[in-house]
Structure 1
Amino acid sequence: MPQQRYYLAIDIGASSGRHVLGSVNGNGVIELEEVHRFDNVQVRRRGHDCWDIDMIWENILVGLEKCRKAGKIPETIGIDTWGVDFVLVDAQGRLVGDAVAYRDARTNDVAADVDAGIGLERLYRVTGIQRQAFNTVYQLAALSREHPEELEAADRFLMVPEYLNYLLTGHMVNEYTNATTTNLVNARTCTWDSFALEAAEAPARLFGEIAMPGTVVGGLAPEVQQRVGFDARVMLPATHDTGSAFLAVPARDAQAVYLSSGTWSLLGVEHEGPITSDASRYQNFTNEGGYLKRFRFLKNIMGLWMIQSIRRELNGVSYVSGKGAQLKRAAKEIGFGELADAARAEQKLHPDAPVPHVNVNDDRFLAPASMIEEIKAACRETGQPVPDTVGELMRCVYESLTGCYADSINELSALTGRTYTSINIVGGGCQDTYLNELTARACGIPVFAGPIEGTSLGNLMVQMISDGVFADLDEAREAIRRSFDVVEYQPE
C-alpha cells in the first residue's frame, strides 16, 4: 500500500494564521487536518501599526514542529498571506525598517498627492488595479518621504510571504499573484512596470524577476531543518490569499460569481484578460493576477472586518497591541454567532422598521478608533435612524454589506456583458448562515456556501498539481466537489 503523501498550506490572514495538512485518500477524497493556529495581532512601532514578523515566523516554525511530532512530513510547503504589504532587506538579508500594516495611516496624506502627480487613468490602464489608499504604490511613496534612508539601504523588496519563504529557504523570489496587488505590475506583460515604480518613488533595482505559482523556491535552510527535524521543498502557491481562495471555488458553470468571504469580501469572476476601461475604473474593479496568468476581475469590499471590529470592541480587545483606549470587557465573551442572532432577532421583532445603510467601502471604516461609533456617526450624518442596540447595529452592517454585494454583481454584469446566475462563497464567512440568507435575498440568485477552508485548499491545489497528484485545475476542482459539502441558499 503506497505511503500517504502530505502537503502543507500555511495560510496567514490579517486576523489569524493556520497550518493545514492536505492529502488525498484512496477514494480520491481530499482530507484536511489543521495542525496549528495562531492569532495575528499587530504591534505599534515608531508611530506605525506593524505586523509582528518575529511572532509570525516563530509560529511558522512551531507549526512545522507539530507536523514532525504527528509523523506527517509534508512533501511541499506553501505560504499565502494578504496582499499589498512588504518588507525591505539589505544585502545581508537583514530587515530594513518595519513591516508596516496596510491599515496604518501613513498613506493618508500621501495618496492624493501621488494621484495628482501620476494620473490615475494612466496607472489603471497600465496595472488594472483598483485605487485603494493603502496600495503598495502609495506605501512606498510614503516610506520614501518619511525614511528615504531605508530605501537607500535596501537591496530587495519582498512581500510578506516572500520574506517568510526567504527565512525558510535562504532564497528571495517575488511571486506573481501577490505582486499584482501592489499596483506596480503591468497587467499585460506581467512584469514590474517602470512607470508605476516611478510613481512609487521606488528604485527599480529592488525588484526581482517575478515567478509563477508552482515554482519551487528551494529546500529548507540548514538551520530550519535543525529546528523542525525534517526537510521539504518550499513551493509558491498563489501567495495572495484571494488568488488561492478563487482556485478552490467549486463553481458549477461560467455564470457563477465568486466570493471569498473573510476580513475582506472579494467578489468577482475569473476572466481571460484584464479589463482596464474607464467604466471599470469608475466602478473601482480590480484585475488581480491568478494561477496560470488567469485574472481575478473583482471588487475588494470591506467584508467581515466591520463585524470583527464590533465583536472585538464589545469584548474589550484592541486590534493593535498597545494602541487605543482601554475598552470595557463584556461580562461574557460575545461570539460571531451571537452577533448574527442579534441581527436576526431584530429583524423578526421589527420587520417593517427602516434599516439604516452605510457605505461599507468608505475609508472611514478602514481603521476607526471605534467601529460602533463610526457607524452611528455615518447614519447620523446621512439623516438615517441611528442604531442603538447591538441588534440594530448588526442589522445595519449585514444589510449594508449584502446591498453592496448586489450592487457589485450588477456592475460586474454590465462590465463583462454577462448574466450571473449564482454566487459561490468560500472562506470562513461562508459559515454565517444569516449573511448567506441575506445575500441570496439581496442578490436574487442562489448562494452556494463552502468549502470553508477555501484559501488553504487553493494553496494545496497548486502544490498537488505541481507534484502530479492532480493532472490540472479542472481535476483538482472536481476533487473539491467530491470532498466537501456545499450548502445551498435560495432567494425568497
Structure 2
Amino acid sequence: MNYFLAVDIGASSGRHLLGHLDNGKLKVEEIHRFNNQIYQVGVQLCWDLDYLFSEIITGLRKCVEQGKQPSALGVDTWGVDFVLLDGEDSMIGHAVSYRDKRTKGVMKEICSQIGSEALYAKTGIQFMDFNTICQLMTLSEEVKSQAKSFLMIPDYLNYLLTGKKVNEYTNATTTQLYNIEANGWDEELIDFVGLKKEVFHEVLPPLSKVGNLRQELVDELGFDCEVILPPTHDTGASFIASSLNIEDSGVILSSGTWSLLGKELLEPIVNEQSRLKNFTNEGGLDKRYRFLKNIMGLWIVQEVSRNLDYRYSFSELVNLAKEAKNFTSVIDVNDQRFFVNENMIEEIVNYCRESGQKPPSTVGEVSLCVYRSLAICYKKYVDEIAEVTGQEIRTINIIGGGCKNEFLNELIEEETNCSVIVGPVEATGIGNIVSQMIAMEEVADIYSAKKIIELSEV
C-alpha cells in the first residue's frame, strides 16, 4: 500500500495528512498538527521557517512511529511570500510576512511607473500591496546584490528537504512577475524590481518530481520518499478537491483565514473589465486558471477572538451572533484598516460609527457584523464573476475550514440566492494528496480524482 503525505501549512496552522486508496476510495488521516503565526522581529512581521521545517520533520517521524512511511510527500503553503539565498545558500535576512507594513502604497508607485494596464496584461494578477513584486521593491540594493536564489516559501521547504532549488508554477503566478502569455518569468519585471533573472529558477508544473530526501534526512528518519510538487499554492490545491468541474455553473469559495472566491477556467480573462474589477488569474493544475477575488476572510474573526483573549471559541462566537440577529450594521471586509491592526474590535466599531451606522456593543453584535459583511461581500463578487465571465452562477461550493461554520453558510445562501454545497473541510490537503497520486500514476487525472473524492467520506 502506498501512502501519500500532504504537508499543508496555512497562515495560522499546519497539518500532516496521510492518504491512501482503499478499494477505490480515498482514506485520509491526520498525523500531525501544529500552530503557525507571525513573529515580530525588530520592526518587521516574519515567519519562523526553521520552526516550520522542524514541524515537517516531526510529522515525518510520527509517520515512522505508526509504521506508515509515505512513498511521496508534497508541501503547500500560502502565496506571495519568499526568501532570498546568498551564494552560500544561506537565507538573507528574514522571511517577512505579507502582513508587514513595508509594502503599503507600493503597488500604486509600481503602477505609476509601469502602468496598471501593462502590468495586468503581462501577469493577469490582482493589484494588492502585498504581492511579491511589491515586497521585492522594498528591499535594499545591498540585499538585492547578495541574492543568488529566489524561492517561494514551499520552494524553500522543498530545498531543505531535497537540496534541489526549483520554483513551482502555481505559486510563481502569485508573484506578479510571471508572464501569463509567455508562460515564464517576465525579464522586464524582474529587471524593474532590481534583481537578475539568474536568481530565479526553472518553473516546474504541479506533478513534477523534485527529488528524494537529502541523505542526512534519510539517515535520521530511517526511510526515503519522493518529494512531489502539488499545486504548492494552497488555493490551487484546494480547488482540485471541489466537487465542481470546470464546466459547472458554480463558483468555489475556499474559506479560511482568507476567502478565495472564483472559478476554474481553461483560459485567463485579461481584459479591461477584469482589470478594473481587480480579478486575478492564478495558475492551477493542468494549466487551468483560477479566476477569483482575494477577500479578507475569517482573519477578522480570528483577530476578534484574539482581542477577547480567546475567551470564546469560534462556535461560541457563532452562537452569540445568532442571538444578535436584529443587528444590521456591516463593514467593508476588504478595507485596509482590517488587514492588520492592534484592535480589530475597535476598528469594527469605529468603521460603523464613521459610516453612520450603529456600532456594535456586544460580542454577538461584533460577530454578526463580520459574518453578515462577509456574506454581502461574497454576493457582490458572485455577481461580478457572472458579469465578467458571462456565465450564470447557481451554486457555491464552500470548502476549507470555514465551511464548518453553518451559520455563515446560511447567510451566504440567503444573500447570494445560490445553492450551497459544503466540503471537503481539508480540501487543500486532499488536493495535495490526489496530485501526488496522479503524479505516481495511482489516479489517472483530475477528473478521476474528483470522482474518487466524491465517493469517499473525506
- Please state which band the TM-score falls in when normalised by the shorter chain: over 0.9
Q: Which of 274, 278, 282 is matched with 1:284 structurally?
A: 278
Tell me how far apart the structure 2 counterparts of residues 411 and 484 of structure 1 sit (CA, whole Å): 33
Please say if residues 137 and 199 of structure 1, whose CA atoms lie closer than 8 Å, have aligned partners that are also in contact.
Answer: no
Bigger drift between 239-248 and 269-278 goes to 269-278
Is 1:101 paired with 2:97?
A: yes
- Structure 1 residue ranges, 4+ long, deviating more than 4 angstroms after superposition: none
Task: Give TM-score scaled by structure 1 length.
Answer: 0.91
Q: Which of 306, 320, 327 is matched with 1:342 structurally?
A: 320
RMSD, matched Cα: 1.2
Report the equivalent of 1:156.
Answer: 149
Q: Structure 2: which amino acid aligns with 1:118?
A: I
Q: Which of 400, 411, 421 is matched with 1:448 structurally?
A: 421
Q: Structure 2: which amino acid aligns with 1:274?
A: P
Task: Describe the superposition over 1:311-367 as per-residue Cα deviations: whole angstroms up to 9, x where unpaired.
Answer: 111126xxxxxxxxxxxxxxxx311101111111111xx3xx5x1111111111110
Q: Structure 1: which amino acid aligns with 2:420?
A: V
Give the secondary-structure state (helix, strand or coil) at the position aligned to 2:175: coil
Q: Which of 74, 81, 86 is matched with 1:85 structurally?
A: 81
Please say if residues 107 and 127 of structure 2, whose CA atoms lie closer than 8 Å, have aligned partners that are also in contact.
Answer: no
Q: Which of 256, 259, 269 is matched with 1:262 structurally?
A: 256
Report the equivalent of 2:308.
Answer: 314
Q: Matches of residues 46-445 of structure 1 in structure 2 within 5 Å?
A: 46-143=42-139, 147-251=140-244, 254-315=248-309, 333-347=311-325, 350=326, 353=327, 355-445=328-418
Please say if residues 356 and 396 of structure 1, whose CA atoms lie closer than 8 Å, have aligned partners that are also in contact.
Answer: yes
Task: Describe the superposition over 1:99-119 as per-residue Cα deviations: whole angstroms up to 9, x where unpaired.
Answer: 000000011143322221111
Q: Structure 2: which amino acid aligns with 1:159?
A: M
Q: Structure 1: which amino acid aligns with 2:169?
A: Y
Report the equivalent of 1:458.
Answer: 431
Instruction: Give identity over the alignment, percent.
Output: 47
Please say if residues 214 and 463 of structure 1, whose CA atoms lie closer than 8 Å, have aligned partners that are also in contact.
Answer: yes
Q: Which runs of 5+ in 2 are unaligned?
A: none
Task: Give TM-score scaled by structure 2 length.
Answer: 0.98
Q: Which runs of 5+ in 1 are unaligned?
A: 317-332, 486-492
CA apart distance, 1:90:
1.6
Tell me how far apart the structure 2 counterparts of residues 258 and 229 of structure 1 sit (CA, whole Å): 41
Give the secondary-structure state (helix, strand or coil) at the position aligned to 1:181: helix
Mark the CA change 1:359 to 1:201 in structure 2 (over 3 Å): closer, same or farther.
farther
Q: Structure 1: which amino acid aligns with 2:4?
A: Y
Q: Structure 2: which amino acid aligns with 1:269?
A: K
Bigger drift between 363-372 and 199-208 goes to 199-208
Tell me how far apart the structure 2 counterparts of residues 200 and 287 of structure 1 sit (CA, whole Å): 21
Tell me how far apart the structure 2 counterparts of residues 284 and 46 of structure 1 sit (CA, whole Å): 33
Mark the CA change 1:268 to 1:109 in structure 2 (over 3 Å): closer, same or farther.
closer
Q: Which of 444, 456, 469 is matched with 2:442 structurally?
A: 469
Please say if residues 111 and 119 of structure 2, whose CA atoms lie closer than 8 Å, have aligned partners that are also in contact.
Answer: no
Is 1:6 paired with 2:3?
A: yes
Please say if residues 268 and 298 of structure 1, whose CA atoms lie closer than 8 Å, have aligned partners that are also in contact.
Answer: yes
Tell me how far apart the structure 2 counterparts of residues 285 and 432 of structure 1 sit (CA, whole Å): 26
Q: Structure 2: which amino acid aligns with 1:266?
A: L
Task: Describe the superposition over 1:45-88 as per-residue Cα deviations: whole angstroms up to 9, x where unpaired.
Answer: 23100000111011011011111111001111100000000000
